[in-house]
Amino acid sequence: MKRENFGSKLGAILAAAGSAVGLGNIWRFPIETGRNGGAAFILVYIACIILLGMPIMMSEFLIGRHTQSNTARAYQKLAPGTPWKWVGRLGVFTGFFILSYYAVVAGWTIEYAVLAVSNQFQGMTTKAEFEQVFTNFSSDPLWPIVWLIVFILLTHFIIVRGVARGIERWSKVLMPMLFIIIAVLVVCSVSMPGASSGVQFLLQPDFSKVNSHVVLSAMGQAFYSLSLGMGCLCTYASYFDRKTNLSKTTLQVCVIDTMIALMAGFIIFPAAAAANYGLTPQDIGPSLIFITLPNVFQQAFGSIPVLAYVFSVMFYLLLIVAALTSTISMHEVVTSYMAEEFHLKRNRSALIETCLSIFLGIFCALSFGCLSDVKLFDMTIFDIFDWTASNICLPVGGMFIAIFTGWYLDKQLFRDEVTNGGTVHAPYFKALIFVLRYITPLAILAIILGNFGLF
Ligand code: PHE
């Protein structure tokens, strides 16, 4: 069976960026930044992107493009008869895990789009009002589940339409739109009266707050936001053509992703400061953007209600799209794995993944309502999924990917992929190998062990 390819270079970049940019940037990044002390966390995060994220992204790209197969098969092709295929399998498992709870939050964005379209936020001014809306909705036993199912089904239908027609076409139009609207919101938020303490929080690092948990969270966030460590970008790269410049694509995706995350921070914290939210640690959780953002729209454009309306509708619609281009990429990892490894039809394989994710997702959705007392180590079901997947599974996957490319992979093959058969200049090649061999795996290991007090 001939595999599909992305139709153009831009399509490939945007699809990879579409996978990376999502709720991780707009929803999760501000939460992690708020919980971990602001500016200092951001600096550690950026260091993780450069030292861990970029080399691993290159590795995933080259493994995927060279082998042109799903993530588990990729390792079997490059290292036949060895246990390396388990790295791919761990990725498939992690993808399934993340999709299940990610779709819960993605479902919330649909509810908020509906609220925005029906103009429900108009006239609301206090934090308590926005909080009430969120709590009522998220603890409801029905609607979060309905939206979760709708979201996974949307993903499902795009997945079964295939790579070029589905994933690529969507990403090309919607990603630039998202960028523009976020930029406008940053300007609005930063210029609100009283926003400056929020800006300071993001710009004045206080390194005394950096401890092993902060570093682990920054690393987890870097992997999560870049969609790394679970073979997602490896699977996408299997649809790249031979001319795609892997290092340039890596740089572009990392820059776009980081910029959008930072911009989200510059929307949320200044707005929260302006509205006098005095964010206490209890406020900084999954509800953060759903309470501060509707408020940004009301405060920034409240005197011109049409603008408040148009901006909030557009924002939530684009957030749905950003989440969708990410859920598609998680779903694709599992779907292509099951289809190619178990010789299933693509439709069938997608359907199995859809049903399994809905099933697990229901428990995550209910953990904000009737299952909120079910806790382990003080974490709800939702938190456990999120913490384990991003802080443990993704970095461990990434560590093995770095070891694989740094130590195991044939260096000539590596060089050929990075330089596109000698046509692209890559003076950093030796440095890249060095980082992948020593720095990346050791840093990941130290950060994980450090978090458990074992280091
Ligand atoms: N990077 C995505 C986001 O920021 C989430 C994601 C994680 C996607 C892992 C694929 C794999 O929303």
Burial class from Cβ neighbours inside 10 Å (0-12, 13-18, 19+) for residue 377 reads exposed
Give the integer Cα–Cα distance in Å for 370 and 380.
11
In the reported structure, the alpha carbon of residue 60 is separated from the centroid of ligand 1 by a whole-number distance in angstroms of: 15
**Inter-residue contact 382 to 368 (CB < 8 Å):** yes
**Cβ–ligand 1 contact at 295 (below 6 Å):** no
Q: Which long-range contacts (CB under 8 A, 24 or more apart) does 342-349 make?
A: 346/160, 346/162, 347/160
Number of Cα atoms under 13 Å in the Cβ half of residue 179: 15
Q: How far is the CA of 412 from the centre of ligand 1 (A)?
A: 31
Cα 171 to averaged position of ligand 1 atoms, centre (Å) = 15
Ligand 1 centroid – CA 281 distance (Å): 25
> Is the CB of residue 71 below 6 angstroms from any atom belonging to ligand 1?
no
CA dihedral 113, 117, 120, 122 (to 10 degrees): 110
Cα-to-chain-centroid distance, residue 125 = 31
20 close to ligand 1 (CB < 6 Angstrom):
yes
**Ligand 1 proximity of 217 Cβ (cutoff 6 Å):** no
Ligand 1 pocket member 329 (CB < 6 A): yes
264 C-beta closer than 6 A to ligand 1:
no
Which residues 6+ apart lie within 8 Å of 63 measured at CB? 74, 75, 78, 234, 237, 401, 404, 405, 409
Q: Which contiguous run of DSSP H or E holds residue 380? A: strand 379-380
d(CA 142, CA 151): 14
CA distance linking residue 90 with residue 64, whole number of Å: 16
In contact, 319 and 26? CB cutoff 8 Å:
yes
- Is any atom of ligand 1 closer than 6 Å to the C-beta of 25? yes
Ligand 1 pocket check for 19: Cβ under 6 Å: yes
pLDDT at 5: 62
pLDDT tens for the chain, 455 residues: list them: 455 666 566 667 777 888 999 999 999 999 999 999 899 999 999 999 999 999 999 999 999 999 988 888 899 899 888 999 899 899 999 999 999 999 999 999 999 999 999 988 887 877 788 888 999 999 989 999 999 999 999 999 888 886 566 666 766 777 788 888 899 889 988 988 888 989 999 999 989 889 988 999 999 999 999 999 998 999 888 888 888 889 999 999 999 999 999 999 999 898 888 877 666 666 678 888 888 888 877 777 767 788 888 888 888 988 998 899 899 889 989 998 998 889 999 899 999 999 999 999 999 999 998 888 888 888 899 999 999 998 899 999 999 999 999 999 888 888 888 888 888 887 888 899 999 999 999 999 988 887 776 66
CB of 225 shorter than 6 A to ligand 1: yes
pLDDT of residue 373: 81
The answer to whether 79 touches 405, Cβ cutoff 8 Å, is no
Tell me the two tokens of residue 38.
């602001």
Which of 92, 224, 257, 401 for mutating ligand 1's site (highest number of atoms within 8 Å of CB)?
Answer: 224
Hey, which of 27, 31, 96, 227 would you mutate to test ligand 1's pocket, going by the most ligand atoms within 8 Å of its Cβ? 227
Q: What angle do CA 219, 225, 231 make, to 5 degrees?
A: 90
pTM of the model: 0.91
Instruction: Supply 347's token pair.
Output: 């439709």
Q: Which atom of ligand 1 is nearest to the CA of 329?
A: 10
Nearest to 250 by CA among 226, 218, 231: 226
Mutate to test the pocket of ligand 1, among 102, 159, 262, 318 (most ligand atoms within 8 A of CB): 102
Tell how far the Cα of 381 is from the centroid of ligand 1, in angstroms. Answer: 19
Q: In Å, how far are 141, 275, 376 from 291, measured between CA atoms?
A: 20, 11, 26
Looking at ligand 1, which residue's alpha carbon is closest to its atom 8? 227
145 in ligand 1 pocket by Cβ < 6 Å? no
Contact 27, 289 (CB under 8 A): yes
Whole-number Å distance, alpha carbon 129 to ligand 1 midpoint, is: 31
Separation CA 80–CA 73 (nearest Å): 9
Q: Is 235 in the pocket of ligand 1 (CB under 6 A)?
A: no
Beta strands, E only, 208-295: none
Distance CA 264, CA 158 (A): 27
